Amino acid sequence: MIRVNQLGILAKTLVIVCTLVVVLSLTFLALSFWLVTTKFQGLETEEARLNMERVINELNNSCNRLETLAGDWAPWDDSYTFVQDLNRDFIEKNLGEESFKTLGINFMLFVDDSNQLVYSRFFDLAREAFTPPDTSIIFALRAIPDFFRFATPQTKNSGFLRSHSSPVLVAGAPIVTSTYSGPIRGTLVVGRYLDHSKLEEIGAQTRLSVEALPLPPENRQPLLQTNSQRSSLDQRSFAIASQVLDHQTLRVYTALNDLRDQPMGIVAVNLERKLFQQGLAMWKEHALSLVGLGLMFIFALVLLLDRIILRRLTRLNEEVASIAQAGRHDLRVSRDNQDEIGTLAEGINAMLASLQSLQMIQEKSEHHLQDIIDSVNCGIMLVDAQTREIVSINRAGAKMAGRSPEDILGQVCHRFICPRERNCCPVLDRGETVDLSEREMLHADGHTVPVLKSVSRIERDGRPLLVESFIDITALKAMESELAASEAKYRQFFEEDLTGNFISTREGTLIACNPAFAEIFGYASPADLIGGRMEHFYSSPETRKLLMERLSEKGRLDRFEGMMRQKNGQPVYIVSNLIGEFDDQGHLLRIRGYLFDDTKRMILEKEIRQAQKLEAIGTMAGGIAHDFNNILAGIMGYTEILLRDLNEEQDSKNRRNLRNILSAGERARGLIEKMLTFSRQTEGERRPVNLERILGDVLQLIRVSLPSTIEISSRITDSPTVMADPIQIHQVFMNLCTNAGHAMKAKGGTLTISLDRVELDADFTGRYPALTIGTYAEIRIEDSGKGIPEHLIERIFDPFFTTKGKGEGTGLGLSMVHGIVKAMHGLITVDSTEGKGSCFTIYLPTINEEESMTAVEHQSIPTGHEHVVYVDDEGFLVDIGSEILRGLGYRVTGFTDSQEALDYLLRHVSEVDLVISDMTMPQLTGIELAQSLHHLDGPPPVVICTGHNEGLSQQDVAHIGVRELLLKPVTVHKLAQVVRSVLDEKASS
């Protein structure tokens, strides 16, 4: 073993520094390991708790859904009757397999008001078959009498229950009438097993692996006391516990309490310890970094000591040894400082100077030969073949090396100026022959100089020498490098250009192309195209032939626009420059082309033209609907007056005919509403609407109307909420589903309806400027029918355009759908292939609010005795409105001139209780009339009737005294309710 005192100065310094750095590094690594693992274990526990809370939240949501289901079925007149007489018709209609599969429940129990089970039905969702009753559930419910007690008819109970197979989610609600009146006749209980399928459903919602475990009594307390925390979600408390199984797995538990608040089972989730592993990985990276820093510190410290002291001593030692070995007294050791080492070097040089004078005489004979060699403009160097040292070099050779001859003499050749052969001499060690060979020479500043070199052998004074001659070829190499760089620059520009570049022959063979060109035509790389024929990309051979003729005539074609074909046959619109290369006789040899894919712009222009066309048609439809509403208001108004005045017994035939007129008017009004919806001049009442619920209603209706040859498939992965009129949304879905069913009517097929929530990015909204970046509900209605011909796709949203036969539709369906979707700031697209089916996709902006359900109560026709002024430029509408209001008991003054009406109101403002005015009239409009009255003291309230609302809402005109906006034609019931509501509001204020 080598002792420390036997080592050199540099080795001793290295040992001391390394020992100190290693001790400090190990201490710091141990401390950091403890801190990092402790911190990440805490984060891991918190993440586990949050994941379990997600599972708990899904359990609570399941209970809430059961409560909602029980709350929907229990307050139902049919349920109220069934619990008393157990009629078979109720069971066949409502308790079939389809109901259990649709509702997603395993059982339904009907208990009478004496808590006796009168009927039960159990269903296996996995096997889709009814099963015998589970007596353990019935006995467990009977053991909890409080479950069947309800404080109010709206009260509901829910929770977990223990059964012989698995835990059960149950919910109960009192059985009352649909108006929540009458005594409670019993309790409706619905339930769902917390079985494997339900756990998989919860796992899919939370993206976790969830399992249910029994809870042994002996393990209950230790389990829930291990890192346990409480979580309260939806008024239910759960104890959460976590346990480390190994370095890779962490198990999280929570105990399920039954309705008596007793533990009944465990829900567990196994989680990967990603945070803990990440912490270990970070610590390892930190440790590696620390080791690297330690090595850098050792290197820097040793390097500093070496440069200041050790290297100087080593160099002085080497220089003295080199001088002694060479036996030359003209050499000197270097002196770079005035310290002790410099003084030592000065003493050595003084000793060498004394010896040099003795050699002067011997060297004079060699100067003449050296002068001759120095005059040659080629580097010449003599090398001792035994010692490998440079014994002579001329000025040209020293200049190439960037040194003085004195600095070069005595150096080992292959270690000093030959960078690629520092470990050996190619001539002496490997026996190479160097004759005008390209080699490299090391310059003093560190760079290499390319040389053309030759080496030969000679002898002088019995000593073998190598004569090396070399010429600097730096300029030649620079020219070669510039040529290669220029070629590489051109190649890089060609390969990385976003424009599709190509070169082809006159006959159409592709010689070269860049990746952009391959991408435009649907190929993976240029290699798939080289050597192919350009004819495949043109729509027809005649098109390319005409293009070649024009190119031959003009020499080049700038900004040529046209349509070409991709690899799969899809069209691609391009803008290109084509340049011809000709021979001396003017014959076209090659074509250089630069293509730009302009498909997106062409599609966008096409969509903008379609939108402008629909906008113009919509404006026309709105104007027609406005005038037709006034005419329809007269027809329906006079009809209602005649019905009121006819004797019911004597004029039954006339009354029937008049009712037919009203029925036809109602259908006409529905047609007008569709036209106004298309023209976006009426939007209905908007409120938060849950699309999943609307689609559920549509699926129930459409199943009845479609033949059995059409299969219905639904994929609802989310439950988004949008701001919309629920009736209009229902119309949109029903219309699209009905059209899809009509397309598959002859041969059958599959109707697929999907609902999802998507994030639209800038790339998508860039193609559809009407949309903004954000969260949207995506509804896809897809059929496998006959599809839409390509030449008809652009017209399907036009009003009154239809491909159906006579009596099968008016052609307003898709135009109405387009108007509703566009008014909601959404988008509808269609993708159809003739013979393979169609897919309509709707994008609607979502909101964060939840849908609120309001009950509508029936009201009778109210009457009154107040004074009403009725204004309309159509005389028959004034007559109708006045007659209706007088029939309700009001005093009415009618005007067909709005200016005369204003003059009358200014004189009798205190005598008038209400003003009803048309929106659009000569002289003064309804808005201008309301503004004129609003400046008076104590002005009467104003109700405005209009053929369309022109984008106005009641809130927009409330500040000038307008209390209601009515859309014509107005029925007797609607007019009576609005008049009475406005007058009562005035009286209360």
Q: What is the pLDDT of residues 861-881, one digit of tens each?
A: 788 889 999 999 888 888 888
Q: Which two tokens stand for residue 930?
A: 């309301």
pLDDT at 811: 42
pLDDT of 754: 93
Question: Looking at residues 507-532, what average pLDDT do you find?
Answer: 87
Split at pLDDT 50, 70, 90, the class of 890 is very high
Please say whether the beta carbons of 456 and 466 come within 8 A. Answer: yes
At 16-62, the pLDDT tens digits run 778 887 888 788 777 777 777 777 777 777 777 888 888 888 888 88
| Predicted local confidence at residue 869, as pLDDT | 92
744: nearest Cα among 709, 769, 768, 713: 709
Q: What is the mean pLDDT of residues 655-675?
A: 66
Pairing of strands 867-871, 249-257: unpaired
Q: What does the mean pLDDT of the chain come to? A: 78
Of 132-141, 320-329, 500-509, 677-686, the least confident: 677-686
- Token pair 């009798």: residue: 908
Query: How many CA atoms are closer than 13 Å to the CA of 724, on its beta-carbon side?
Result: 29
Residue 2 has pLDDT above 80, yes or no: no
Q: Which residue has the higher pLDDT, 795 or 595?
A: 595
pLDDT confidence band for 409 (50 / 70 / 90): confident
> In this predicted structure, which of 167-171, 388-392, 417-421, 774-778 has the lowest mean pLDDT?
417-421
Per residue in 267-291, pLDDT (tens digit) is 888 777 777 777 777 777 777 887 7
pLDDT of residue 242: 75
* CB crowding 892-921: b at 16 or more within 10 Å, else e: bbbbbebeebbebbeeeeeebbbbbbbbeb
Considering all CA atoms of the chain, what is the largest pairwise distance in Å, rounded to the nearest integer? 160
User: 219-228, 283-292, 393-402 — which is least confidently predicted?
Assistant: 219-228
DSSP strand E in 36-153: where?
107-112, 117-124, 129-131
Q: Which of 469, 446, 248 is nearest to 380 (CA)?
A: 469
Report d(CA 637, CA 714) in Å as an integer. 45
Residue 75: CB atoms within 10 A of its CB come to 21
pLDDT band for 127, please (50, 70, 90 cuts): confident
Q: At 223, is the pLDDT very low, low, confident or very high (cuts 50, 70, 90)?
A: very low
In this predicted model, which residue has the larger pLDDT, 958 or 338? 958
Asked if residue 363 has pLDDT above 70, the reply is no
What three-state secondary structure class fits 745? coil
Predicted pLDDT at 331:
76
| Predicted local confidence at residue 916, as pLDDT | 92
Ranges 56-70, 672-686, 926-940: which has the least confidence: 672-686
Closest listed residue to residue 468, CA positions, set 576, 579, 393, 578 = 393
Question: With bands split at pLDDT 50, 70 and 90, how would you rate the model's confidence at 856?
Answer: very low
> Among residues of the chain, what percentage have pLDDT more than 70?
82
Residue 511 has pLDDT above 70, yes or no: yes
Compute the average pLDDT of residues 624-632: 69
Least confident of 588-592, 628-632, 693-697, 891-895: 628-632
* Structure tokens that stand for 346 in this block: 């000065």
Residue 231 pLDDT: 44
Give me the mean pLDDT over the 210-229 stretch.
56
pLDDT reported for residue 870: 92
Please provide residue 799's backbone torsions phi and psi, each rounded to the nearest 5 degrees: -65, 140
- Which residues contact residue 906 at a Cβ distance below 8 angstroms, ignoring those fewer than 6 apart? 936
What does the block give as tokens for 377? 């403009």
Torsion, CA 363, CA 369, CA 371, CA 375, rounded to 10? -160
Provide the pLDDT for residue 962: 86
By the 8 A CB rule, do 269 and 209 touch?
yes
Two tokens at 639?
């009809």
Helix and strand tally (H, E) in the chain? 28, 33
SS3 248: coil
Q: How confident is the model at residue 809 (pLDDT cuts 50, 70, 90)?
A: very low
Rounded-to-integer distance, Cα 644 and Cα 258, Å: 63
pLDDT of 221: 46
Give the least confident one: 74-78, 276-280, 734-738. 276-280
Pairwise pLDDT comparison (488 vs 847), residue with the higher score: 847
Which tens digit of pLDDT belongs to each residue from 349-361? 777 776 666 556 5
Alpha-carbon distance 332 to 328, whole Å? 9
Q: How far apart are CA 313 and CA 282, in angstroms?
A: 44
Rg (CA), the chain: 48
Q: In the prediction, which pLDDT does 243 show?
A: 74
- Answer whether residue 102 shows pLDDT above 60: yes
What is the average pLDDT across 517-541? 84
Given a cut of 50, whether residue 678 has pLDDT beyond it is no
Higher local confidence (pLDDT), 543 or 857: 543
Q: Which residues pair with 450 in a beta bridge?
A: 440
The pairs formed by 485-492 with CB atoms below 8 angstroms and a separation of 24 or more are: none
pLDDT digits (tens, 9 = 90+) for 749-775: 899 999 999 999 888 888 888 888 899
Q: What's residue 636's pLDDT?
A: 73
Q: For residues 785 and 744, is the Cβ–Cβ distance under 8 A?
A: yes
Report pLDDT for 60: 87
Confidence of residue 843 (pLDDT cuts 50, 70, 90): very high
Q: Which of 858-862's residues contact partners 24+ apart within 8 Å by CB, and which partners? A: 859/977, 861/888, 861/972, 861/973, 861/976, 861/977, 862/888, 862/976, 862/977, 862/979, 862/980
Residue 166 is predicted with a pLDDT of 79
Q: Which two tokens stand for residue 293?
A: 């820093």
pLDDT of 538 reads 84
Q: Supply 550's token pair.
A: 């024009």
Residue that has been written with the tokens 């979600």 in this structure:
233
Per-residue model confidence (pLDDT) at position 681 = 43
pLDDT for 673? 62
Structure confidence at residue 855 (pLDDT): 42
Q: What is the pLDDT of residues 711-735, one digit of tens each?
A: 888 898 888 999 888 778 877 888 8
Q: Please say if the pLDDT value at position 488 is more than 80.
A: no
User: With contact defined as beta carbons under 8 Å apart, do 625 and 672 qualify?
Assistant: yes
Could you tell me what percent of the chain has a pLDDT over 90? 7
More confident residue, 359 or 294: 294
Neighbours of 609 (CB within 10 A): 11
Give the pLDDT confidence score for residue 172 in this predicted structure.
92
| C-alpha to C-alpha distance for 694 and 253, rounded to whole angstroms | 38
